[in-house]
C-alpha cells in the first residue's frame, strides 16, 4: 500500500496539475490555481504558486532539457511533474536531494506511483549532468514561442532581447492610495506601523511600491477602501483622462474595476462602466463596494451602441481595449503559451471596431484615452494611427511624459521600465467644441 504524500510532495503535485491545466487544457493559470484545496497551508500554497509560475515562465527551456531524457512522450500530467522537478534543480534554492525526493513523492499524490523510478532516474541524471542548449533563437533563449519572440524582436529592434527577458522577471507589487480617504504619506506611515516597507512610486502621485509582495489581507485598510493593488502603468490612465468635476465619463471595458475606481477617486464625475462579461462586472461591483464608490454599471458590448447608449455624449472615454496581454507576461506567464499568432490580428480587428463605434459617442472637444497592456504595435500605434488617418475629426494629443517612449502615435512602456508593466497609451481629441 502506497504511503500518502508529504506536504512538499503535495505542493509539487498540485503545481503539476496547474501547469497541465494551462498547457494541455488551455486554462488560465489564475483559474487553475483558484482550484487549490481550501485546507492547503499558506506555506504550501505559496510553494505551489512559486513552482507553477516559475515552471511556466521557463517552460520551453525546461521542455528542451527534458527531451533528451525521454524515449517517448509521457502523459501530460507526468510531463508537467518532470518539468516541475527540472525547474527546482535549475532555478530554486531547494537542496537537490530534497527537490528530487519530494518530486518523486508527488507521483503518489498524482496516482502515478509506477512512474517513481522514471522520475527519480531523470531528475538524478539531470542533477549529474544538465544538457547544454544551443540558444540560437531568442524564443529558446528566453522561453517564448517563436512567433511571439519574432514579433517582439521585429517591434523592438535592439531592445527586443531586453523586453523578452523582462517578461520573465518577477513583478513588484504596486499600490494605489485612495486619496479621497487618506494621503500617500499618511498611508506610508500606516504601512510602517504594520512593519511593511514601501516607497513612493515615481510618476504616480498616488502610487507606492512595496519592498516585498504581501497578500491583500496583510494590507492595512484594504478591506475598507484605503488602498488598492494596481500596477503603476495602469495608474497613468487617470492622469491622461484630464478629469474635471461634473464630466460625463465612459469606461468602455471596465472590469475588474481598478481604472474605474481610480477615475472616481480623482473627480466627482458621472461615470458609466460597461463590460461584456457578467462575471467580470460582478467583480467590478465588488471593487466599487469595497472602495465606497458609485457609478452606473451595465453588461454590454461597447461596440453595439443600440444595446446601451442613450444618445447623450461623453466628455471623456477610457477604452482599455481587449488585447493579447503581452505586456503583463511577467505577472501571467501562461499568456506565452495560451496566445496564438492569429489572436493578435483578431484583437486588432476588435480594437478598431470599438474605436469606430465609441467615437460617435464622444462630444466635440472631448478626449478618448486608448490603452492596452500589449507590447505589440499591431495592438497599439498601428490601430490608433489607422483610425486617426481615416477619421476626419480625430486629432492626436501628443503625450508629453517622463515615462515610456514615443510611438508614431502615442507612447509605449517596455515591461520593467521604471518598475511598470508593458503598456501602450494614446490620447485622441474630437475636433470642435
Q: Which residues are catalytic?
A: 373
Residue 319, SS3? strand
Residue 336 CB coordination number (10 Å): 24
Query: In sequence order, which ranges of 267-395 are alpha helices (DSSP H)?
Result: 278-291, 335-338, 341-359, 381-390
> For residues 225 and 181, is the Cβ–Cβ distance under 8 A?
yes
Residue 410, SS3? coil
What's the gap between Cα 77 and its chain centre? 25
SS3 content of the chain, % helix, strand, coil (to 5): 50, 15, 35
Write the Ramachandran bin of 311: left for phi over 0, alpha for psi from -120 to 50, otherwise beta. left
With CA atoms as reference, report the closest residue to 366 among 310, 271, 308, 433.
433
CA geometry: angle at 138 spanning 136 and 143, to 5°? 110
Cβ within 8 Å of residue 260, ≥6 positions away: 251, 254, 271, 273, 284, 287, 288, 293, 295
Cell of residue 61, nine digits: 527551456
Write the Ramachandran bin of 143: left for phi over 0, alpha for psi from -120 to 50, otherwise beta. left
> For residues 231 and 421, is the Cβ–Cβ distance under 8 A?
yes
d(CA 202, CA 207) in angstroms, rounded, equals 8
d(CA 133, CA 115) in angstroms, rounded, equals 26
d(CA 398, CA 407) in angstroms, rounded, equals 10
Over the Cα atoms of the chain, what is R_g? Answer: 23
Q: What is the 8-class DSSP label of residue 172?
A: P
Amino acid at each position: 500500500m502506497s504511503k500518502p504524500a508529504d506536504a512538499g510532495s503535495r505542493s509539487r503535485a498540485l503545481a503539476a496539475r496547474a501547469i497541465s491545466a494551462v498547457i494541455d487544457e488551455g486554462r488560465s493559470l489564475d483559474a487553475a490555481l483558484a482550484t487549490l484545496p481550501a485546507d492547503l497551508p499558506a506555506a504550501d500554497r505559496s510553494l505551489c504558486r512559486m513552482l507553477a509560475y516559475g515552471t511556466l515562465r521557463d517552460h520551453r527551456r525546461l521542455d528542451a532539457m527534458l527531451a533528451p531524457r525521454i524515449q517517448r512522450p509521457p502523459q501530460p500530467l507526468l510531463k508537467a511533474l518532470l518539468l516541475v522537478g527540472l525547474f527546482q534543480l535549475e532555478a530554486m534554492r531547494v537542496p537537490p536531494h530534497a527537490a528530487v525526493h519530494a518530486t518523486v513523492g508527488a507521483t503518489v499524490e498524482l496516482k502515478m506511483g509506477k512512474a517513481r523510478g522514471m522520475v527519480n532516474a531523470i531528475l538524478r541524471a539531470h542533477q549529474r549532468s544538465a544538457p547544454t542548449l544551443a540558444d540560437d533563437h531568442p524564443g529558446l533563449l528566453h522561453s517564448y514561442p517563436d512567433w511571439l519572440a519574432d514579433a517582439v524582436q521585429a517591434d523592438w529592434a535592439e531592445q527586443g532581447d531586453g523586453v523578452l527577458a523582462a517578461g520573465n522577471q518577477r513583478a513588484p507589487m504596486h499600490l494605489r492610495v485612495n486619496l479621497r480617504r487618506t494621503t500617500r504619506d499618511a498611508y506610508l506611515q500606516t504601512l510602517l506601523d504594520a512593519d511593511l516597507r514601501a516607497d513612493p512610486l515615481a510618476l504616480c502621485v498616488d502610487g507606492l511600491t512595496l519592498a516585498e509582495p504581501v497578500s491583500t489581507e496583510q494590507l492595512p485598510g484594504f478591506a475598507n477602501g484605503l488602498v488598492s493593488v494596481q500596477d503603476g502603468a495602469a495608474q497613468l490612465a487617470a492622469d491622461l483622462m484630464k478629469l474635471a468635476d461634473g464630466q460625463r465619463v465612459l469606461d468602455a471595458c471596465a472590469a475588474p474595476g481598478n481604472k474605474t475606481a481610480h477615475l472616481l477617486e480623482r473627480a466627482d464625475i458621472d461615470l458609466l462602466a460597461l463590460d461584456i462579461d457578467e462575471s467580470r462586472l460582478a467583480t467590478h461591483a465588488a471593487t466599487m463596494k469595497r472602495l465606497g464608490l458609485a457609478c452606473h454599471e451595465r453588461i454590454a458590448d461597447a461596440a453595439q451602441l443600440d444595446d446601451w447608449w442613450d444618445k447623450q455624449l461623453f466628455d471623456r472615454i477610457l477604452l482599455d481595449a481587449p488585447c493579447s496581454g503581452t505586456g503583463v507576461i511577467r505577472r501571467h506567464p501562461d499568456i506565452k503559451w495560451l496566445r496564438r499568432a492569429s489572436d493578435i490580428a483578431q484583437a486588432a480587428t476588435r480594437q478598431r471596431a470599438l474605436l469606430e463605434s465609441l467615437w460617435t459617442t464622444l462630444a466635440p472637444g472631448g478626449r478618448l484615452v486608448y490603452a492596452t497592456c500589449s507590447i505589440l504595435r499591431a495592438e497599439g500605434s498601428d490601430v490608433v494611427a489607422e483610425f486617426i488617418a481615416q477619421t476626419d475629426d480625430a486629432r492626436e494629443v501628443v503625450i508629453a511624459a517622463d515615462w515610456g517612449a514615443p510611438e508614431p502615435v502615442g507612447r509605449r512602456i517596455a515591461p520593467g521600465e521604471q518598475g511598470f508593466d508593458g503598456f501602450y497609451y494614446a490620447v485622441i481629441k474630437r475636433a470642435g467644441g
